[in-house]
């Protein structure tokens, strides 16, 4: 098997699906591993070279031999128009997003196959690999950092975010602010039992906050008044259908509503199933927080909803993901996860082109 790890097209994307240490294990198993040079990847070219990988120029995947498997994380650049290889990455096109048909047409033109990482699932439909824990951790940490900073007259992570070399940079800021805080926020995590929820809880524990943990059992008959009585809300619910609404704009300003900071880790504002219909578009690294209203006491309510949170802590996110992904990748492409992803690709191709 020949794997080719491409340089990411997004300038802000520093994560990698396979670390140098895990790449070395594939080479030991007899796989050929080619890695494109990258000036932004959290692990250096030399680390991959020392692991036994062959280092090549960025973008050289476009001329790879037909049996080479092209591995990446995020979406491909717009060219070439024909894709002939088997390709592994998060494509974000299977929910009929803008340009989905045009992206699949590139595979039709070249005869290649997409194995979308999001659709690597087991027989029970559970995802085999995900960045969920670090999405929850980073989303909650940002909200907590901003909440504590604002209470003490500081900006905190209010604008112009850049990726951190490690989570300790964020943790140290929170610990410093928590140490000088007059009071700590009462926090609630909804979707607490999932990967993202567990990450969010661990982040909030850095400051020693009081944390309420809700999951499906607590949201069947939602006590919105109790939810809004908290100071900081982290939403980690994965919505698969309509029904759950955590808060509306009117709810935020109702009597007894104390919420001043919201982190929507799930970040699905464009979906009709969005449980937080209080904003219309994701926030960004340039502007992580937006004001969405006033609470019951008249204080501003701020929200963060960044759709690529794990990219902010690329080292921990990559190490965690790679440890999950490596054993799955060793089963390429006969494992049940790969067959599931291949089936979804075939179904979407049929939907697009008949």
| Range from 94-98, 293-297, 324-328 carrying the lowest mean pLDDT | 94-98
Phi and psi at residue 28, in whole multiples of 5°?
-60, -30
Q: Is 154 one of the catalytic residues? A: no
Q: Which residue in 74, 108, 193, 342 is the catalytic one?
A: 74
Tell me the sheet residues that pair with 234.
Answer: 189, 263
| pLDDT at site 10 | 87
Q: Is 348 one of the catalytic residues? A: no
Long-range contacts of 224-230 (CB under 8 A, 24+ apart): 224/251, 225/256, 227/188, 227/190, 228/252, 228/254, 228/256, 228/257, 228/258, 228/259, 228/295, 228/296, 229/186, 229/256, 229/257, 229/258, 230/185, 230/186, 230/187, 230/188, 230/258, 230/259
Q: Which residue in 92, 108, 193, 342 is the catalytic one?
A: 92
Task: Identify the CA nearest to 174 among candidates 216, 213, 205, 218.
Answer: 205
52: confidence class by pLDDT, cuts 50, 70, 90: very high
Kindly report, residue by residue over 102-151, the tens digit of the pLDDT: 999 999 999 999 999 999 999 999 999 999 999 999 999 999 999 999 99
**Domains in the chain: ranges and CATH:** 2-119+314-353 (3.40.50.720), 132-312 (3.40.50.720)
How much of the chain, in percent, has pLDDT values that exceed 70?
100
| pLDDT at site 273 | 84
Backbone torsion region of residue 164, taken as left when φ is above 0, otherwise alpha when ψ lies between -120 and 50, otherwise beta? beta
**What is the per-residue burial (b if ≥16 Cβ within 10 Å, else e) of 298-323?**
eeebbbbbbbbbbbbbbbbbbbbbbe
Q: What is the pTM of this model?
A: 0.87
In this structure, the dihedral spanned by the alpha carbons of residues 264, 192, 171 and 299, taken in order and rounded to 10 degrees, is: 50
| pLDDT at site 190 | 98
The answer to whether 204 and 251 are in contact (CB under 8 A) is no
β-strand pairing of 2-5 with 32-36: parallel
Span 31-35, average pLDDT: 97
């Amino acid at each position: 098997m020949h794997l080719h790890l491409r340089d990411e097209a997004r300038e802000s994307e520093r994560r990698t699906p396979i670390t140098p240490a895990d790449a070395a294990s594939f080479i030991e198993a007899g796989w050929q591993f080619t890695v494109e040079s990258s000036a932004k990847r959290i692990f250096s070219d030399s680390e991959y070279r020392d692991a036994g990988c062959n280092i090549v120029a960025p973008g050289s995947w476009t001329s790879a031999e037909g049996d080479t498997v092209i591995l990446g994380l995020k979406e491909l650049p717009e060219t070439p128009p024909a894709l002939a290889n088997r390709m592994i990455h998060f494509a974000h096109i299977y929910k009929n997003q803008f340009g989905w048909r045009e992206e699949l047409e590139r595979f039709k033109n070249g005869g290649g196959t997409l194995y979308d990482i999001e659709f690597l699932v087991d027989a029970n439909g559970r995802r085999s690999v995900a960045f969920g824990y670090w999405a929850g951790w980073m989303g909650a940490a940002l909200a907590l950092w901003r909440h504590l900073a604002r209470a003490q007259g500081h900006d905190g992570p209010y604008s112009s975010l850049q990726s951190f070399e490690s989570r300790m940079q964020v943790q140290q800021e929170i610990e410093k602010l928590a140490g000088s805080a007059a009071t700590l926020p009462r926090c609630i995590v909804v979707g607490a039992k999932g990967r993202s929820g567990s990450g969010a809880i661990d982040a909030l524990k850095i400051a020693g906050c009081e944390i309420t943990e809700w999951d499906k059992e607590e949201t069947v008959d939602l006590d919105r008044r109790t939810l809004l009585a908290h100071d900081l809300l982290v939403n980690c619910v994965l919505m698969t259908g309509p029904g759950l609404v955590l808060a509306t704009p009117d709810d935020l300003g109702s009597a007894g509503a104390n919420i001043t900071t919201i982190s929507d880790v799930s970040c699905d504002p464009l979906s009709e199933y969005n449980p937080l219909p209080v904003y219309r578009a994701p926030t960004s690294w340039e502007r992580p927080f937006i004001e969405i209203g006033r609470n019951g006491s008249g204080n501003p309510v701020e929200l963060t909803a960044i759709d690529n949170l794990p990219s902010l802590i690329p080292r921990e996110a990559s190490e965690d993901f790679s440890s999950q992904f490596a054993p799955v990748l060793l089963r390429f492409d006969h494992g049940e996860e790969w067959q599931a992803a291949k089936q979804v690709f075939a179904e979407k191709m049929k939907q697009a082109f008949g």
